[in-house]
Amino acid sequence: MSDADSAQVDSSQADLSQPDPRRVSDLRTPALVVDQTAFDANCAAMDAVRPGTELRPHVKAFKSTALAQRLADRAHTAFCAATPAEIEGMVAAGLHHDLLLANESLDVARLGRLDAPITVAVDSDPTLDAAIDGGVRRVLIDIDVGLPRCGCDIDTGTRLAERARAAGLEVRGVMGYEGHLMMVTDRNKRIHKVGKAMAILADAHDRIGGDIVSGGGTGTFDTNTWCTEIQAGSYTLMDTHYDGLDLPFNPALYVVATVISINAKGWVVADAGLKALGMDHGDPTWTGPGAEGEVLFCSDEHITIAPANLADHKVGDRIMLVPGHVDPTVARHQQMWVVNGLPVADAEVVDRWPINLRHW
């Protein structure tokens, strides 16, 4: 190993040593910031429809046990996750009342070793074998309801359930994710299409049994009335991708950036680029006081914006961006800073939520 290796410097940790910031203007940028008022309102809107364990919050959206704890405090004590690392982190944080790996994995022996009741999704003999061999005691049968991703047909699911029970595992029920229907903008069409997808899941449940019918997401939290529990996480923080839908949730997550350059030809450059943002749903939206203009493009560490009034801006200003997609944006940061209200420069920072469920 070279000197550079053995030094084992890890700037992943550097930002955590930043002295406690008091205001948004103290934050190193780019910074991920949560508007606690909007967050609380989003939680309340969800709880009015999906109280307690009728919601199984999906930690993949926010990857933070601190945020998960806020949901547990609101009586959502059963969680789901997309990766084994997310499950491990939830167990380590004591949030392991009822954890579901809502995804297929062959790397589940690491979960079978944990002292917590963990359920994993299976959709094939190899994934069921991995659960049995890995010491996992509970499974959910993942059914294909139309999204071209994981999930098996009902006959396969029924056979897997029999095999699992014969091996002494508890089959807790079925899950099916209608992810291809989250963005159907017309509410009635969405209800109709979700109903057809969920009819498949209901048939599977009739044959497979168990207490749980798990599915849904932020986009179908109220229209999916067929599931016993909804898997949703994005509703807590929201993003611009859901703007077209009739949802009672509002953006609560911002990337705060600093203006580092202004060009008289008509553009402003700030220090939040595509390494600080999930870009799969396109550019972020510039918002907040004075945010009139057009986002031109993002590069690695920059966003270039053409503002309506260039003279209104100066180097050093803080600006706010709403990400196009919450989940991958969160996964790029070490922490969320919490403020009451919009993260304008003088807004008070009231908390820090470590994003501690990252990687795999």
CB of residue 259 vs its own copies: minimum separation in angstroms? Answer: 9
What is d(CA 69, CA 37) in angstroms, rounded to the nearest whole number? Answer: 17
Lookup: tokens for 75: 């009586």
Amino acid identity, residue 180? Answer: H
CB of residue 105 vs its own copies: minimum separation in angstroms? Answer: 6
Tell me whether residue 224 or residue 234 sits nearer to its own copies (CB atom): 234
Lookup: tokens for 38: 């909007």
Residues 6+ apart with CB under 8 A from 170: 137, 138, 139
What is d(CA 117, CA 122) in angstroms, rounded to the nearest whole number? Answer: 16
What is d(CA 255, CA 319) in angstroms, rounded to the nearest whole number? Answer: 8
Closest by CA position to 118, among listed 144, 98, 104: 98
Tell me whether residue 228 or residue 356 sits nearer to its own copies (CB atom): 356
CB of residue 250 vs its own copies: minimum separation in angstroms? Answer: 22
CB of residue 336 vs its own copies: minimum separation in angstroms? Answer: 12
Task: Say if strands 31-35 and 253-263 run parallel, antiparallel, or are unpaired.
Answer: antiparallel
251: region left, alpha or beta (phi > 0 left; psi from -120 to 50 alpha): beta
Tell me whether residue 137 or residue 180 sits nearer to its own copies (CB atom): 180
Tell me whether residue 92 or residue 310 sits nearer to its own copies (CB atom): 92
Tell me whether residue 35 or residue 271 sits nearer to its own copies (CB atom): 271
CB of residue 188 vs its own copies: minimum separation in angstroms? Answer: 26
Q: Which residue has the tokens 């168990």?
A: 210
322: region left, alpha or beta (phi > 0 left; psi from -120 to 50 alpha): beta
CB of residue 255 vs its own copies: minimum separation in angstroms? Answer: 11
Tell me whether residue 11 or residue 188 sits nearer to its own copies (CB atom): 11
